A and B are shown apart, each in its own frame.
Chain A
Amino acid sequence: MAKQELLGLNGNEASAYATKQVNPDVVAAYPITPQTIIVERFSEYVADGLVDTEFVAVESEHSAMSCSVGASAAGARAFTATAANGLALMWEILYIASSLRLPIVMAVANRALSGPINIHNDHSDAMGARDSGWIQIFCENAQEVYDASITAWRIAEHPRVQLPVMVCMDGFTISHTMENVMTLPDDAVKKFVGEREFIRVEGHMGEAELRLDPEAPLTMGPLDLQDFYFEHKIHQVDAMDDALEAIKDVDEEWAKVSGRGYGYAEPYLMGDAEVAVIGMGSAMGTVRHVVDELRQEGVNAGMVKLRLFRPFPAAELKKAVGRVPMLGVMEKCISFGAPASPLMEEIMTAYYHDKEKPMMANYVVGLGGRDVSPAMIREIYGSLLKNRKAGKVSKPMSYIGVRGD
């Protein structure tokens, strides 16, 4: 295992530092809170000559993603970062990146979507992009951001995947909070990410690497109508299926180099748990703290931290949840008019065909950056215990911490 250095980094700096070590060919970005520090730091690395990257200061996020698509299609490693409305402005290009199978890596400092205008954390931005064909990894702390910002390249460029990856971190809570981050030496990171791998495809002039090369021309992004579009969408379905395995392999390899492996769904004290909370992101650290307190008070509480949302790791999630009878799904997003919030819908769908499944209730927390306090999490566990005792879910959907609710 490589010798590591402990640095004080916030999530944004961890992302920038890892990306410096990866040394991508192109970074195209537009500043938006709470992501700005990532590209600010990175542009300093460029100015100081610490990276070989072509830094493109574009005029909008739509251009940032378009530029990344162009660079990645030309065979470059392309990185960008954004949040909230910036991600929303990238929307149409997100789908183009994934359907053209371009392994772009993007940091997303999750922030509430306007309006009313808000710059603080929730997951409404990334959840809105959940159908765009991107792999989505949600980090709990700056260390996970550092690790994911390196492994993301190997996942994206894996020959059986070839899809773009979003590394999501909670805006401010992670992006602006300095933490201890163990970092690998540059050469260890360089060795781990290696060179970008290209798959070979059959083009109109014969077989070629999937990239734009005047010596071996390909047509990328042609009109694709009733006769082929559907089949190409199945390619993306297939790649997402394969990504589950690839992510596991890359994680295991990273664990050998760094000592840190994550898996998709991390159970905590689930063995004998009677009630448990599942969720993603920084709030799960607070949940772990509350679980410890509840355990001391004699409550059999547990939790599962989900790290991967796309592709959705249903099998590993169920393994982590185990046989807990009452499960609370805690999330920072609302799908207006839907029967539940996105994570709840995914989990319920994953369990629908199973004979044995936990009772489930949905708890929406922390919209627009509202603090998710231990007291609120206790309220959730209280509600779960009540449901468990009654043997039924009295309120399938609750908004925790809303005045008047």
Chain B
Amino acid sequence: MSKARTWKELPKGAVSYRSSRDYKTGDWGVDAPRIDQAKCVKCNLCHMLCPEGCIAVREDGSPEPDLDYCKGCGICAKECPVKAIEMVRK
């Protein structure tokens, strides 16, 4: 239970008064990706396929997941062509 606002203080129409960035949904997941950067070929498939959009690309082209938003679905690991991603318990 959020100790936030009473019904009188909430915006009408159930609109969100906070950004989705504030909702750290990463704690929903059980597993999280561990990336072996040595194996990674920087194809960016994981970045493109992540349904949460939580895998960023560093300047050097390597992927960096933000576990605050990763729900642990494992799509990145499944799709990685060089098997550089392994799903591990959070």
Which among A203, A231, A239 is the interface contact of B15 at CB below 8 angstroms? A203
Q: Tell me the complex Cα distance, A306–B32, Å.
A: 61
- Min distance, Cβ A382 to any Cβ of chain B, angstroms: 50
Q: Is the CB of B14 within 8 A of A224?
A: yes
Q: Tell me the complex Cα distance, A368–B5, Å.
A: 48
Q: Tell me the complex Cα distance, A201–B7, Å.
A: 13
CB of A99 within 8 A of chain B? yes
Q: Is the CB of A204 within 8 A of B12?
A: no
What residues on B are CB-neighbors of A227 within 8 Å?
1-2, 4
What residues on A are CB-neighbors of B2 within 8 Å?
227-228
Residue of B nearest to A100 (CB): B13
Which among B11, B12, B14, B18 is the interface contact of A221 at CB below 8 angstroms? B14
What residues on B are CB-neighbors of A220 within 8 Å?
13-15
Q: Tell me the complex Cα distance, A204–B18, Å.
A: 4
What residues on B are CB-neighbors of A68 within 8 Å?
none
Q: Tell me the complex Cα distance, A202–B18, Å.
A: 9
B 2-33 binary contact with A (CB < 8 Å = 1; else 0): 10111100111111111110000000000000
What residues on A are CB-neighbors of B14 within 8 Å?
99-100, 220-222, 224, 228, 232, 235
Interface size class of A (residues with CB under 8 A): 20 to 34
Q: Tell me the complex Cα distance, A101–B12, Å.
A: 8
What residues on A are CB-neighbors of B19 within 8 Å?
204-205
Q: Tell me the complex Cα distance, A210–B16, Å.
A: 11
Count residues of B near A (Cβ-Cβ below 8 Å): 17
Q: Is the CB of A231 within 8 A of B12?
A: no
What residues on B are CB-neighbors of A202 within 8 Å?
11, 15, 17
Chain B 15-56 interface residues, beta-carbon cutoff 8 Å to A: 15-20
Q: Is the CB of A232 within 8 A of B17?
A: no
- Min distance, Cβ B15 to any Cβ of chain A, angstroms: 5
Known: A226-B1, A227-B2. A232 touches B16 (CB 8 A): no
Q: Tell me the complex Cα distance, A203–B17, Å.
A: 4
Q: Tell me the complex Cα distance, A224–B13, Å.
A: 11
Chain A 208-243 interface residues, beta-carbon cutoff 8 Å to B: 210, 218-222, 224, 226-228, 231-232, 234-235, 238-239
- Min distance, Cβ B26 to any Cβ of chain A, angstroms: 16
CB of A162 within 8 A of chain B? yes
Q: Is the CB of A203 within 8 A of B16?
A: yes
Q: Tell me the complex Cα distance, A12–B5, Å.
A: 45
Q: Tell me the complex Cα distance, A219–B16, Å.
A: 6
Q: Tell me the complex Cα distance, A219–B12, Å.
A: 12
- Min distance, Cβ B7 to any Cβ of chain A, angstroms: 4
Known: A201-B12, A201-B13, A210-B13. A232 touches B7 (CB 8 A): yes
What residues on B are CB-neighbors of A199 within 8 Å?
12
- Min distance, Cβ A70 to any Cβ of chain B, angstroms: 14
Residue of B nearest to A73 (CB): B13
Q: Tell me the complex Cα distance, A231–B1, Å.
A: 12
Chain A 15-63 interface residues, beta-carbon cutoff 8 Å to B: none
Q: Is the CB of A235 within 8 A of B7?
A: yes
- Min distance, Cβ A184 to any Cβ of chain B, angstroms: 32
Q: Is the CB of A234 within 8 A of B12?
A: no
Residues of A participating in the B interface, judged by any CB pair closer than 8 Å? 99-101, 162, 199, 201-205, 210, 218-222, 224, 226-228, 231-232, 234-235, 238-239
Residues of B participating in the A interface, judged by any CB pair closer than 8 Å? 1-2, 4-7, 10-20
List the 8 shortest-distance A-B pairs measured between CB atoms, nearest first. A231-B7, A201-B11, A219-B16, A101-B13, A234-B7, A227-B2, A204-B19, A232-B14
Mind listing 24 A-B residue pairs with CB under 8 Å?
A99-B14, A101-B12, A101-B13, A199-B12, A201-B11, A201-B13, A201-B15, A202-B17, A203-B11, A203-B16, A204-B16, A204-B17, A210-B13, A218-B16, A219-B15, A222-B14, A227-B1, A228-B2, A231-B5, A231-B7, A232-B7, A232-B10, A235-B10, A235-B12
